[in-house]
Amino acid sequence: MARLRNKNKKMFVKPTSKKKQADVDHITGDKIPKSFVFARGKLPGPLRQLQMNLRKLMLPFTALKLKEKKRNSLKDFLNVAGPMGVTHFLMLSKTETAPYLRVARTPQGPTLTFKIHEYSLAVDVAQSQLHPRCPQDLFKNAPLIVLSGFGSGEQHLKLTTVMFQNIFPAIDVNTVKLSSCQRIVLLNYNKDTKLIDFRHYSIRLQPVGVSRRLRKFVQNRQVPDLRNLQDVSDFVSKAGYGSESEGDDEAATVTLANDLGRVNKASTKSAVKLQEIGPRMTLQLVKIEEGLCSGGVIFSEYGTASENGQEKNQNNGEDDNDDVEENDEDSD
């Protein structure tokens, strides 16, 4: 007799657990900074694309698919940031004169406001290159940060340096894996123009003294076409050693401590190549506030409100003195 199946019995299904992102670096022990990139107000199409480019740049410790609504206030983002361990906000906005980027530390500030003079999207940078390079595995690790020209000792430049250094995870040079160093963010400050050049590059290494044809053969793992060659040595010597893109500058070469990929081996020299992947921005620091988009003004490119008020009162006082002198002359 067939065994009757109990219809009321429910089948047990093991829940699938997603891998939780670490909040603390297991090597350095420091808290990993995380960020939200969102808009304040309505943005035009190009600035919306710039927002997505910035989210991709901040990977993997950011919300790439963060959904916003018009009714969301800054307090809404702040309430969500605490449980998720978010430490920084990057906020884009647009006025009648120019777009702005605000970088803030949560939950209590400070907030740095930058005026965006010029910007280029990642797609524009790729279209300007003959061989664009942006594989998906570039964004598995956070980028390195390099700051240049910020060492003048001024307070607002020190705050800018600390803000951008803390927005990306710190690394330990003694334990860091070379395979995780695939991107770099460069900020260069020009003290004459007071502008900051913001650039985003990918890092790749090429072995010095190896022909481009051999590199392609090792990397692609494809059988080369030898039909028109008399000997295998012709394939090796045809392209010569080195390549047209390989620099001779010794400062651009490094000696690897361990193997990196199939081509770059330990104890051999490799040339460091940087290729821009975007986005690109030209920024100007216009204001620093103590709190989160509020509080006292620590720095203002156009002067603080108190300074402007003092100058205005001083000018009014000078005008009054001139009127008194003119009245005295008329009475005489």
> What CATH number is given to the structural domain containing 46?
3.40.50.10480
Asked if residue 3 is part of any domain, the answer here is: no
Residue 275's closest CA among 130, 170, 69? 130
Rounded distance, CA 156 to CA 143, Å?
24
User: Which residues are paired to 297 by β-bridges?
Assistant: 289
The predicted-structure confidence for 71-121, as pLDDT tens digits, reads as follows 899 999 999 999 999 999 999 999 999 999 999 999 998 999 999 999 999
Q: What is the pLDDT of residue 9?
A: 54
Rounded distance, CA 11 to CA 329, Å?
104
Asked if residue 94 is part of any domain, the answer here is: yes
* pLDDT above 70: residue 35: yes
Alpha carbon separation from 135 to 215, 277, 287 (Å, rounded): 18, 10, 37
- Please count the structural domains in the chain: 1
Rounded distance, CA 234 to CA 240, Å?
10
The domain of 69 spans 34-204+278-299
The predicted-structure confidence for 38-63, as pLDDT tens digits, reads as follows 999 999 999 999 999 999 999 999 99
Q: Are 169 and 181 in contact (CB under 8 A)?
A: no
Alpha carbon separation from 26 to 21, 32, 167, 174, 300 (Å, rounded): 12, 10, 18, 14, 39
Asked if residue 172 is part of any domain, the answer here is: yes
